[in-house]
Amino acid sequence: MEITLQQAVSDLQRVLEIVRSVAREVYATNADRHDPSHGDDNGTFAQLVWRNIANLSFQKLNQAGIPVRRVAGGAIEVTSGSWVVRIYKFPLTAPDKVRDKLEQLSWDASAARLRGAVLNSGPKDQLAFDQDPDWAESFAEAVRQGHVRIMHTGDPETGNCVIEVGLPRDNREGGSPWLDGTIEIHNDLQLSLPAPRSEEDLLVDLGGLPPGEASDRDGELPSETESDEDRPATGEAPKAPDHTDLEENDLPLRRRTEEKRDKRENTD
């Protein structure tokens, strides 16, 4: 089997559709009921979002006939064809820093997280006798599986979220935590960012181009802690999930819109 991100996204289309739909609804719903005056903060929001997404994804995937199981700590694992999928939350991050945060992840906090990254990073040349009817049963275990991570984070004030998909890579000795980068399957956090200035707009401001000659073209947008509650790789007692960090409290969050969720702008 070809272990590439493009192949994974193609093979897992139905799985990604279900998780994407669940995650978007969960973030929006929990933002609507998020109330700091009753003691809510980024940590309570993250915990609730993570559990809701795990529970509802488990339910929806089961209903769709897609093999899914609960693993240690309440996380879920999807097995679809030759792919193994786990869903993680990473910390609330400023919209323009999401890519940077994804590149700072490491997988060695638990055996389960690290296992998928190590297997993805292993030798690519394997015997593939599973295609030969005379050898399929004997060599079934030798067929390589690909491990996929669905990562998400979002804003408790707006319910906007970003969802990324990637193939974990063993980066204990450095380099990217992803084999082939990540693919964004949803992102309405970008609504909080101003549109980039076009070259024509800049020229007008600098007096180098009369306003009437500027085109009306819109500026184009540029093309952790995960809540994997797996047991640690060592024999130590499980650590409490780190759903937030101190820096999150410094983020400039936008206030929640007064409009109902079904009237919010849909960027898809």
CA separation, residue 97 to residues 94, 193, 242 (Å): 5, 11, 19
Q: Residue 60: phi, psi to the nearest 5? A: -70, -40
Domain assignment of residue 82, yes or no: yes
The token pair that represents 229 in the structure block: 């509650």
Domain assignment of residue 262, yes or no: no
Which pairs with CB-CB distance under 8 Å and at least 24 residues apart come from 75-79? Answer: 75/227, 75/228, 75/229, 75/230, 78/15
- Of the listed ranges 34-48, 79-93, 170-184, 189-203, the least confidently predicted one is 189-203
More confident of the two residues 74 and 206: 74
DSSP 35-56: -GGGT--HHHHHHHHHHHHHHH
Q: Which domain holds residue 145?
A: 5-194+224-250
Number of domains in the chain: 1
Closest CA to 77 of 91, 102, 57, 107: 57
Residue 12 pLDDT > 80, yes or no? Answer: yes
Q: What is the mean pLDDT of residues 162-183?
A: 94
Residue 249 pLDDT > 80, yes or no? Answer: no
pTM assigned to the model:
0.68
Domain assignment of residue 245, yes or no: yes
Domain assignment of residue 210, yes or no: no
Q: What is the pLDDT of residues 44-61, one digit of tens each?
A: 999 999 999 999 999 999
Domain assignment of residue 215, yes or no: no
The token pair that represents 120 in the structure block: 């993805």
Q: Which amino acid is at 67?
A: P
Q: What is the pLDDT of residues 189-221, one digit of tens each?
A: 887 555 554 555 544 444 444 444 433 332 222
- pLDDT for 110 equals 84
Domain assignment of residue 15, yes or no: yes
Domain assignment of residue 162, yes or no: yes
Domain assignment of residue 78, yes or no: yes
Question: Any alpha helices (H) in the chain, and if so which ranges?
Answer: 5-11, 13-33, 42-63, 98-103, 111-120, 199-205
Q: What is the pLDDT of residues 21-49, one digit of tens each?
A: 999 999 999 999 999 999 999 999 999 99
